[in-house]
């Protein structure tokens, strides 16, 4: 009779899930920088219009006094410099945050021409929906990326207007002083147009405005399983029953039944 076989079982390895860490669509640092930037732009545009009225580029354009900041051009300059430092420092923090956390890469790229054309077509037919706040469509990506580039350009031209001698080499890239003023004015116009579109969309989709105040929905749901094993108690060994013993051969020859007959 053979010995009973014992089936060896190795301890099971169960995946352990990483602890859940809920993240908002708009983290708190981003929301703070957003509203600081909004205040800085408001100051810069209003004071910039005050400066413009003192030396207009276009004879037909003059901003009314109730829209400008500063009673005289000198006061407008002081307000403009105040807003400029807030805008620049906050902009550096925003760009650093977006690059370091990978937010720009996730939210603004890739940009596909076919998707952009299709999104513009949906918008023109009033079929554009924005139910999922966590995903930017192609038009939003282009607008956000474009306004970032315009913001960088308006700071560069502003420095050339402020310190044309100290930044003479940089100013030389744009040509004359009046050309720099024109580029600066066009950048301001692009930012104003973006603000009008941005505010209009926020009013049409109120949850996007609420999200910029509260943080919005969470963007990471159930955490993925990680490779770190967790030992689970192994079950008791299973003892397999021994096979039945073979019957022994008879010692003598088998009796012949035909002889008994």
Retrieve residue 50's tokens.
Answer: 């005050």
Environment class of residue 190 by beta-carbon count within 10 Å: exposed (0-12), middle (13-18) or buried (19+)?
middle
pLDDT recorded at residue 224: 38
- Between 257 and 242, residue with greater pLDDT: 242
- Between 52 and 247, residue with greater pLDDT: 52
- Between 149 and 240, residue with greater pLDDT: 149
Kindly report, residue by residue over 210-223, the tens digit of the pLDDT: 999 999 888 764 43
**Beta-bridge mates of residue 6:** 239
pLDDT recorded at residue 223: 38
Question: Span 18-41, mean pLDDT?
Answer: 87
Question: Span 110-133, mean pLDDT?
Answer: 78
pLDDT confidence band for 121 (50 / 70 / 90): confident
pLDDT recorded at residue 137: 84
**Beta-bridge mates of residue 225:** 17
Whether residue 12 is predicted with pLDDT greater than 60 in this model: the reply is: no
Share of the chain above pLDDT 70, in %: 73
pLDDT recorded at residue 130: 64
Q: Which positions ≥6 away from 186 have C-beta within 8 Å?
A: none
From 195, 196, 182, select the one nearest 52 (Cα to Cα). Answer: 182
Retrieve residue 210's tokens.
Answer: 């609420």
- Find out whether 245 and 49 touch, Cβ atoms under 8 Å: no
Torsion of Cα atoms, 124 then 130 then 133 then 134, to 10°: -70
pLDDT confidence band for 257 (50 / 70 / 90): very low
pLDDT recorded at residue 167: 93
Report field, pTM of the whole predicted structure over 0.75: no
Whether residue 20 is predicted with pLDDT greater than 70 in this model: the reply is: no
Whether residue 114 is predicted with pLDDT greater than 80 in this model: the reply is: yes
């Amino acid at each position: 009779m053979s010995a009973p076989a014992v089936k060896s079982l190795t301890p099971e390895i169960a995946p352990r899930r990483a602890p859940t860490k809920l993240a908002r669509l708009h983290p708190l640092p981003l929301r703070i920088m957003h509203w600081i930037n909004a205040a800085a732009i408001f100051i810069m545009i209003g004071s910039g219009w005050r400066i413009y009225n003192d030396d207009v580029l276009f004879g037909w354009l003059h901003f009314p006094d109730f829209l400008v900041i500063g009673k005289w051009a000198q006061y407008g300059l002081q307000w403009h410099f105040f807003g400029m430092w807030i805008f620049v420092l906050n902009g550096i923090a925003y760009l650093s945050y977006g690059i370091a956390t990978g937010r720009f890469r996730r939210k603004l790229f890739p940009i596909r021409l076919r998707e952009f054309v299709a999104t513009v077509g949906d918008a023109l037919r009033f079929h554009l929906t924005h139910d999922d706040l966590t995903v930017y469509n192609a038009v939003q990506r282009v607008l956000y990326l474009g306004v970032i580039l315009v913001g960088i350009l308006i700071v560069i031209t502003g420095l050339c207007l402020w310190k044309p001698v100290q930044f003479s080499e940089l100013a030389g890239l744009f040509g004359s002083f009046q050309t720099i003023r024109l580029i600066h004015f066009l950048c301001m116009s692009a930012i104003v147009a973006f603000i009008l579109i941005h505010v209009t969309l926020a009013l049409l989709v109120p949850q996007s405005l609420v999200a910029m105040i509260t943080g919005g929905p969470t963007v990471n749901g159930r955490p993925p399983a990680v490779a770190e094993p967790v030992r689970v108690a192994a079950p008791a060994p299973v003892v397999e029953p021994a096979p039945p013993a073979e019957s022994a051969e008879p010692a003598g020859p088998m009796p012949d039944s035909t002889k008994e007959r």
